[in-house]
Structure 1
Amino acid sequence: MKKTHPILASYIPVVEGLARTFGEHCEVVLHDLTDDISSSIIAIHNGHVSGRQIGSPVTNLALQSLRSAKVSEQAFDLNYRNDTIRGKQIKSSSIYIKDEQGEVIGSLCINLDMTHLSMAQAVIGSMIAIQDKRDEEKAEESFAPTVGDLMEQMIDDCLKRTAKPIALMQKEDKIQFIHQLDEMGLFLIKGAVQHVADLLDVSKFTIYNYLDKKTPQ
C-alpha cells in the first residue's frame, strides 16, 4: 500500500474539521496527486454532495487547473461555479498543496452545495421585496402612536411637498394645501378640519369653502 506524503497526511484532520464546521451541504476533499490520479481521493467528508468516496478520481476541471498550477505560481482557484454535478448548484474552491521543492502534490477542495441556499434566497427575496412608492407620489407609511401624531405627520409631509411655510402661504397656496391634505385622507379623521383651520388661522367654514373650490392650476 502506498504511503501518504507527510504533508498530505497533515491535512486529513483538516478535511473533517472543515466539513463538520460548515455542515452537511459542504463537501471537503483531499486529493493525492503524487501518483495515480485515477484514484486520487484519500480523504473526503460529506461525499453525498458529489457522490464520491475515497478512491474516486480527480475531476476533469481539476486536471486542467492542476496543469495550470504546475506551470505557474498559482496557489488556489477560489469560488468558481462547478456544473459537473447535475441538478445541483455548486460553488467550489481548490487549494493546491506543495512539497518542500514547490511541486504540487495534492489539493484540498471545498464544494458547497448552494441549491437549498439559492431556493431560500429566492423565497427570502420575494418576502422582503418592497415597491418603490416615490414614483407614485405617496407618502412613506408612518406608524404614529396617537391620532394627533398621525395628523401632525401627515401635515408635515404635505408641507414638505408644498415647500412653503404656512406663514408665507397666499390664498391660492392654502387652497392647494387643503386639497392635498384632503387627497391624503386627513379629513377622514375626526377633528382634523378644526385642527387645520386653527393651523391656518381660518374658520372651519373657510376650510369647507376651500374644499369646494378647484385646485389652482
Structure 2
Amino acid sequence: MTRHIHPILASYIPVAEGLAKTLGQHCEVVLHDLTDISSSIIAIYNGHVSGREVGSPVTNLALQALRTAKTSQEDYDLNYRNDTIKGKQIKSSSLYIKDETGQIIGSLCLNMDLTHIAIAQAALNDMMAFADKAEEGRAAEKFAPTVTSLMEQMIDDCLKKTGKPIALMQKEEKIQFIHLLDEVGLFLIKGAVQHVADLLDVTKYTIYNYLDKKDGR
C-alpha cells in the first residue's frame, strides 16, 4: 500500500536532499511525517550518521520536543547536543512543519556529526599550544631583519631592565649592563663587543675586563 504524504511534506523532500548535498556526508538530513510516528521517516540522506532509513520511527527526544513545541508554539529547536548516537558527537536542529491550520505535521531535522571535527580541533589545539614564557623565564623571541637590528633590540631590552640611559650610568651600572648583555648572548655576535664599547665610550678591552670579573677570573 502506497503511503499518502501530505503535499506540504512532499515539497520538503527536495529541500532535504539539497541540504544534504550542500552540507556534506557528515550531516544527516531527515524528513519526518509526524502523523505516523511509528514509521515517521519519509526521506533521509546520509543515514549512515544514525543508521536509520526510510520507515524508521521517530526518536524519543523528538517526541518530547514535539510535545513541547505543541505547547509553546515554537517553530524550531536549534543546535542542541544529541548524545543518543553512541560514540559520536552530534549537533542537531529540528524545524517543525505545519499544515494550513497551524498543526505540526512533520519536521525537518539536521544531525551534524562533529566527531571528526572534534578530533581535528583537538589536534589543532595541541599544535597551537604555547609554553608559558613567564614561568620558564624566557625572553620574547626577536625576529630582526638584520644582525644590526637584532643587536639594537637586545641592547634596548637590557637598557629597560637597568632603568637608566647609558649617559647617566656609573661604572658599576655599566658593569651590570654588560653582564645583562652577556646573559642574553649578545657577545656571541661578531662585532658586538666593539659596538657596546662604542656605546659606553670605553675600549673593547674594558668590556673583556668587566666580563672576566663576572666569571671570577
Task: Give me the TM-score of the superposition, normalised by structure 1.
Answer: 0.91
Q: Which moved more, 1:17-26 or 1:150-159?
A: 150-159
In structure 1, the partner of 2:31 is: 30
| In 2, Cα distance between equivalents of 1:42 and 1:160 | 72
* SS of alignment partner, residue 61 of structure 1: helix
Q: Give the stretch that moved more between structures: 164-173 or 63-72.
A: 164-173
Aligned-pair CA distance for 1:25: 0.7
Alpha carbons of 1:8 and 1:186: their partners in 2 closer, same or farther (altered >3 Å)? same
- How many residue pairs match? The answer is 214
Counterpart residue number, 1:171:
171
- Please say if residues 139 and 157 of structure 1, whose CA atoms lie closer than 8 Å, have aligned partners that are also in contact: no
Secondary structure in structure 2 of the residue aligned to 1:77: strand
Between stretches 200-209 and 79-88, larger displacement belongs to 200-209
Q: Give the equivalent residue in structure 1 for 2:12.
A: 11
Q: 1:65 to 1:163 in 2, by over 3 A?
A: farther
Equivalent-residue separation in structure 1 for 2:5 and 2:99 (angstroms): 13
| Range 144-153 or range 77-86, more displaced | 144-153
Deviation at 1:171, TM superposition (A): 2.6
Provide the C-alpha distance between the structure 2 equivalents of 1:163 and 1:10, rounded to a whole number of angstroms: 75
Q: Rate the CA distance shift 1:164–1:10 in 2: closer, same or farther, 3 A.
A: farther
Under a length normalisation based on structure 2, what TM-score does the superposition of the two structures give?
Answer: 0.91
Using the alignment, how far apart are the partners of 1:22 and 1:151 within structure 2?
A: 53
Change (3 A) 1:160 1:17: farther
1:61-100 superposed matches below 5 A: 61-100=61-100
- SS at 1:156 equivalent: helix
| Distance in 2 separating the partners of 1:213 and 1:14 | 82
Counterpart in the other structure of 1:205: 205
Q: Secondary structure at the match of 1:42?
A: strand
Distance 2:100 2:159 in 1: 74
2:126 corresponds to which residue? Answer: 126
| RMSD of aligned alpha carbons | 1.8
**Which amino acid letter does the alignment assign opposite residue 8 of structure 1?**
L
Please list the CA deviations of residues 132-179 of structure 1 after superposition, one character each: whole Å capped at 9, or x if unmatched.
Answer: 313333222122232222212211222233333323333333222211
For each residue in 1:57-112, what CA deviation from the matched residue of structure 2 results, as whole angstroms up to 9, or x when unmatched?
A: 11111111111001112222211111111111111111112223222111111111
Q: Which residue of 1 aligns with 2:135?
A: 135
Letter in 1 for 2:211: L
Q: Residue type of the partner of 1:142?
A: K
Q: Distance in 2 between matches of 1:199 and 1:31?
A: 80
Tell me the residue number matched to 2:159. Answer: 159
| Matched residue SS, 1:71 | helix
Distance 1:9 1:168, change over 3 A: farther
Structure 1, unmatched stretches of 5+, are none
- CA displacement at 1:210 relative to structure 2: 2.5
